[in-house]
Amino acid sequence: MSSAAPRLATYADLLALPPDVRAEVLAGAIVTSPAPLPRHSNAQGAARRFIGGPFHDDDGHGGPGGWWIFVEVDVAFGLHDIVRPDIAGWRRSRLPRPGNTRPIEVVPDWVCEILSPATAARDRVHKRNLYGRAGVAHYWLIDPSARVLEALTLREGVWLEAGVYDETSTARIPPFEAIELDVGRLFLPREADEPSAQNE
């Protein structure tokens, strides 16, 4: 006698978790993540500042504008795939009123994930495939440990490398070519990112 198929998790299961649990639903399974390291938090905040500043905050105030750039909002790619990207962006024309929407069901135009030892494989494999199937046009992977930004662009359902940039790079990176990004500013100063005595 065969056992019943396991029940696939939905957004309701995320809402039932304690508020301090960082979780997503991937292919119907609840996946949790630990709190980020300072280097991860720094890269996330810096990317929000240097991309979100001109494209979100300065919309109508001298910047290129035209985008919503949100940190860790819930995005549904289907009933059983609800993720919380480190940073996600939408052209405002596609998402005119996001204020009280949860989860957002409009596919982002850009997603940025900050890699960590706990999430790197998930971000590079499962989420990359999920975002590609859903039609996310641009995917950035920022690796604070390697101090590298990898930018991918989707073309006819296939991810193409738009560029790989280290901390010495200053570049115009799709879809934000209107500005030059100093990639090194995404990372902690090297002297602040060395192992401390308490971690040795």
| Structure confidence at residue 198 (pLDDT) | 53
| Structure confidence at residue 194 (pLDDT) | 81
- CATH T-level fold of 36-199: tt1808, chain A (3.90.1570)
Measure the CA–CA gap between 184 and 188, rounded to whole angstroms: 8
| Structure confidence at residue 90 (pLDDT) | 98
Ranges of the chain with pLDDT below 70: 1-4, 196-200
| Structure confidence at residue 179 (pLDDT) | 98
Closest by alpha carbon to 141, among 157, 119, 156?
119
Closest by alpha carbon to 184, among 138, 141, 146?
146
Q: Would you kindly state where each structural domain of the chain is located, as residue ranges?
A: 36-199
Do the beta carbons of residue 21 and residue 33 sit within 8 Å? no
Q: Is the pTM value of this prediction over 0.85?
A: yes
Q: Which residues of 59-88 are buried (b: 16+ CB within 10 A; e: fewer)?
A: eeeebeebbbbbeebbbbbeebbbbbbbbb
Measure the CA–CA gap between 91 and 65, rounded to whole angstroms: 9
pLDDT one-digit tens code per residue, 147-180: 999 999 999 999 999 999 999 999 999 999 999 9
Measure the CA–CA gap between 123 and 159, rounded to whole angstroms: 14
Measure the CA–CA gap between 52 and 179, rounded to whole angstroms: 11
Q: Average pLDDT over the chain, rounded to whole? A: 94
Q: Show the beta-strand stretches assigned E in 50-174.
A: 67-71, 75-76, 82-83, 87-91, 110-114, 138-143, 148-155, 158-166, 170-171
